[in-house]
């Protein structure tokens, strides 16, 4: 049983709003997709898009693909023009790819209203273009645009489009849910009706689904269950409007749930790495709640879950996270019980199982703090410091605070400058340091570093990578509590997040900042 895993991230996926790949980006994404093990990579529309033309030119010498074949995308010849005279068909051949994908109108309404030609001419355009490219030695896939809508409107004509493409030598006729409006049962029914009408096997068909009903992955799986052996998708579901079928979810569902060997051996474990790397190239934050690859895909918050996971992780995980390159995470919140705290501590390399009294204290402390607005589920570093304090293994604070002061000055020229002064005691020495910053927290950070760096030169490598503030509703009238999450990085690829809570945003930031420096300096010594 041979499956064709066809990725269109570089063409259809690039139509996502706000996404724009450079040629270098496209080359990097192609390498990643090949490492994931897809069989075909649709690189773009040569001849119509200059950047895509350049991509295919450079790909010939710069890409050394192990698993995938490059595919050039284009359209059938124009109406009334001989195929040999059509410049965009020439552009497909000039791309020198082993395979070509052609988009063809499969809905009679689009033929007559959008293409503005006749039903017969559209069929001739498909036949002529496919036979021409096959004669030139290309493998040809035909994307039947609006197939499902067209088949519901005029099944006889849409079936004729499929029959014409296959008879002309197309390797697969891809059924496209272009508007993304289908449901799985409708996809299955259309495939069964089409194959019965034409007397062809479903293995000659392909499936391409948009996600407008949030059913793209389900529709693709339904098509495969109906016998289709060629399926298309994009990395992370990128694409126009709500996007395309997420190639990662489709592959994982087929391989792990249906036991179908769709990827080369050893490639499935690359899924998370490839997903996140492509997101970075696209400059899109990875979706933490994305199936299989999201950071929260195997994250558990409820204490009931954690109790069962202690017995067997698969009791609350639908698959072993490691098979797709992910990890299970235990979230520490007010919902956490002893089991959650114990498992999270073990995840951080701390043993609370052998210290039941400390486990009870940590669990009680977490619940108390969370009730006051603290949140540890995204602040592992602060949670680790809390646990270690109960185990009497907490790192010593690198300084003792005498006082700090922050001023914000709005100057006559409109400039706003923050200045912070800290008075601290470091290794028996009283230090006073002042610094300016673009905000009160930045100024505090700079002042604290200025006072500490002579004693702790490792601080030169630390940088404040992210800062999030949330105002929480107070328990009395209109009172409010401020929660700050601070992400710090050390320049080696390591980062950590700390939390601070206080009615005053500067004081909340101070708590998070002190935790960040304490944790980072302790790690630097390891």
DSSP string, 426-457: ETTEEEEEEEEESSHHHHHHHHHHHHHTTT-G
For CA atoms 154, 155, 161, 167, give the dihedral sign. negative
- Which band of pLDDT confidence, cut at 50, 70 and 90, is reported for residue 476? very low
State the CATH number of the domain containing residue 498. 3.30.160.340
**CATH number of domain containing 446:** 3.30.160.740
Mean pLDDT over 140-163 rounds to 98
**pLDDT tens-digit readout, 378-404:** 678 888 888 888 887 778 889 999 999
266 plus 374 within the same structural domain: no
pLDDT single digits (tens) 187-212: 999 999 999 999 999 999 999 999 99
* Tally of CB atoms within 10 A around 416: 10
Assigned domain for 418 exists: yes
Cα–Cα distances in Å, from 137 out to 96, 98, 130, 132, 394? Answer: 10, 8, 11, 9, 69
Kindly state whether residue 375 falls inside one of the protein's structural domains.
yes
Cβ-based neighbours of 200, under 8 Å, separated by 6 or more: 162, 166
With respect to residue 56, please indicate whether it lies within any of the assigned structural domains.
yes
- Shared-domain flag, residues 304 and 272: no
Tell me: pLDDT of 477 over 70.
Answer: no
Q: For 503-514, what is each residue's pLDDT tens digit? A: 888 999 999 999
Q: How many CB atoms lie within 10 A of CB 53?
A: 19
Structure tokens at 144: 């039947």
On whether both 484 and 439 belong to a single domain, the answer is no
CB 362 within 8 A of CB 390: yes
Residue 309 has pLDDT above 50, yes or no: no
Sign of CA dihedral 34, 37, 42, 44: negative
- Inside any domain, residue 292: no
What number is the average pLDDT over the span 430-458? 91
Strands 429-437 and 400-410: unpaired
Based on the fold, state whether residues 171 and 275 are members of the same structural domain: yes
| Whether residue 434 sits in one domain with residue 463 | no
Asked if residue 103 and residue 219 are part of one domain, the reply reads: yes
d(CA 196, CA 381): 61
More confident residue, 172 or 360: 172
Residue 66 to residues 38, 69, 236, 266, 316, Cα–Cα distance (Å): 10, 9, 22, 13, 36
Instruction: Looking at the structure, tell me whether residues 242 and 125 fall in a common domain.
Output: yes
Give the separation between CA 367 and CA 346, rounded to whole angstroms: 19
Query: Which range, of 7-11, 130-134, 405-409, 471-475, averages the lowest pLDDT?
Result: 471-475
Note whether residue 287 is domain-resident.
no
For the segment 491-512, the average pLDDT, to the nearest whole number, is 87
CATH number at residue 92: 3.20.20.70
Domain end position, chosen among 257, 282, 307: 282
Domain that includes residue 30, residue range: 4-282
Can you tell me the mean pLDDT for 309-323? 66
Instruction: Answer with the one of 428, 455, 482 that is the final residue of a domain.
Output: 455
CA distances from 508 to 12, 274, 398, 443, 446 (A): 45, 37, 19, 15, 17
Question: Do residue 511 and residue 404 come from a single domain?
Answer: no
What whole-number distance in Å separates Cα of residue 30 and Cα of residue 36? Answer: 10
Q: Tell whether 434 and 474 lie within a shared domain.
A: no
Please report which confidence band the pLDDT of residue 1 belongs to, taking 50, 70 and 90 as the band edges: low
Closest CA to 497 of 520, 525, 470: 520
Enclosing H/E stretch for 469: strand 463-473
Please name the helix (run of DSSP H) or strand (run of DSSP E) that holds residue 51, with its range, or none. Answer: helix 50-62
Q: What angle do CA 348, 350, 351 make, to 5 degrees?
A: 140
Q: What is the bridge-based pairing of β-strands 139-145 and 172-177?
A: parallel
- How many domains, the chain? 4
- Domain co-membership, 113 together with 243: yes
Residue with tokens 């589920």: 377
Q: Kindly report, residue by residue over 219-240, the tens digit of the pLDDT.
A: 999 999 999 999 999 999 999 9
CA distance 515 to 485: 11
The overall average pLDDT reported for the chain is 88
Alpha helices for 168-263 (secondary structure H): 184-198, 216-225, 247-252
What does residue 286 show for φ and ψ, rounded to 5 degrees? Answer: -55, 140
Look at residue 288 and tell me if it is in a domain: no
Confirm whether 339 is domain-assigned: yes
Ordered strands of the 416-426 beta sheet: 400-410, 416-426, 429-437
Same domain, 156 and 240: yes
DSSP 76: P
CB 524 within 8 A of CB 489: no
Whether residue 412 sits in one domain with residue 367 = no
pTM over 0.75: no
Among 373, 390, 407, which residue terminates a domain?
390
Q: Is residue 290 part of a domain?
A: no
CB 420 within 8 A of CB 443: yes
Cross-strand bridge partners of residue 157: none
Q: Is the pLDDT of residue 260 over 90?
A: yes
């Amino acid at each position: 049983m041979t499956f064709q895993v066809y990725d269109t991230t570089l063409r259809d996926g690039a139509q996502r709003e706000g996404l724009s790949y450079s040629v270098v980006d496209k080359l990097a994404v192609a390498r990643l997709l090949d490492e994931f093990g897809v069989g075909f990579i649709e690189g773009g529309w040569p001849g119509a898009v200059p950047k895509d033309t350049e991509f295919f030119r450079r790909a010939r010498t710069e890409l050394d693909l192990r698993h995938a074949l490059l595919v050039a995308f284009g359209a059938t010849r124009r109406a009334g023009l001989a195929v040999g005279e059509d410049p965009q068909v020439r552009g497909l051949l000039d791309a020198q790819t082993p395979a070509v994908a052609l988009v063809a109108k499969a809905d009679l309404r689009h033929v007559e209203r959008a293409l503005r030609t006749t039903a017969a001419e559209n069929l001739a355009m498909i036949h002529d273009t496919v036979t021409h490219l096959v004669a030139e030695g290309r493998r040809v896939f035909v994307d039947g645009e609006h197939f499902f809508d067209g088949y519901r409107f005029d099944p006889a004509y849409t079936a004729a489009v499929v029959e014409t493409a296959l008879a002309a030598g197309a390797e697969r006729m891809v059924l496209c849910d272009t508007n993304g409006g289908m449901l799985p049962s409708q996809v299955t029914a259309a495939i069964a009706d089409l194959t019965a009408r034409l007397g062809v096997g479903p293995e000659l068909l392909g499936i391409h689904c948009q996600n407008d009903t949030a059913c793209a992955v389900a529709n693709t799986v339904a098509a495969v269950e109906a016998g289709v052996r060629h399926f298309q998708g994009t990395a992370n579901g990128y694409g126009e409007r709500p996007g395309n079928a997420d190639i990662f979810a489709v592959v994982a569902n087929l391989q792990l749930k249906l036991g179908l060997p769709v990827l080369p051996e050893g490639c499935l474990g690359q899924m998370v790495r490839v997903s996140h790397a492509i997101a970075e190239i696209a400059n899109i934050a990875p979706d933490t709640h994305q199936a299989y690859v999201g950071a929260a895909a195997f994250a558990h918050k409820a204490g009931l879950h954690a109790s069962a996971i202690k017995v067997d992780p698969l009791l609350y995980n639908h698959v072993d996270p490691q098979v797709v390159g992910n990890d299970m995470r235990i979230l520490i919140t007010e919902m956490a019980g002893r089991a959650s705290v114990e498992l999270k501590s073990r995840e951080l390399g701390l043993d609370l199982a052998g210290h039941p009294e400390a486990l009870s204290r940590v669990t009680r402390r977490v619940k108390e703090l969370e009730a006051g607005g603290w949140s540890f589920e995204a602040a592992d570093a602060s949670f680790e410091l809390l646990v270690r304090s109960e185990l009497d293994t907490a790192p010593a604070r690198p300084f003792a605070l005498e006082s700090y002061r922050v001023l914000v000055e709005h100057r006559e020229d409109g400039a706003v400058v923050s200045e912070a002064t800290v008075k601290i005691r470091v290794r028996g020495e009283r230090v006073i340091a002042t610094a300016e910053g673009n905000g009160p927290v930045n100024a505090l950070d700079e002042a604290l570093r200025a006072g500490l760096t002579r004693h702790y030169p490792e601080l030169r490598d630390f940088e404040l990578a992210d800062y999030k503030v949330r105002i929480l509703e107070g328990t009395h009238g209109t009172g409010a509590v401020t929660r700050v999450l601070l992400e710090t990085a050390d320049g080696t690829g390591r980062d950590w997040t700390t939390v601070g809570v206080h009615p005053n945003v500067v004081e909340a930031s101070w708590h998070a900042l002190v935790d960040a420096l304490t944790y980072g300096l302790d790690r630097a010594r390891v």
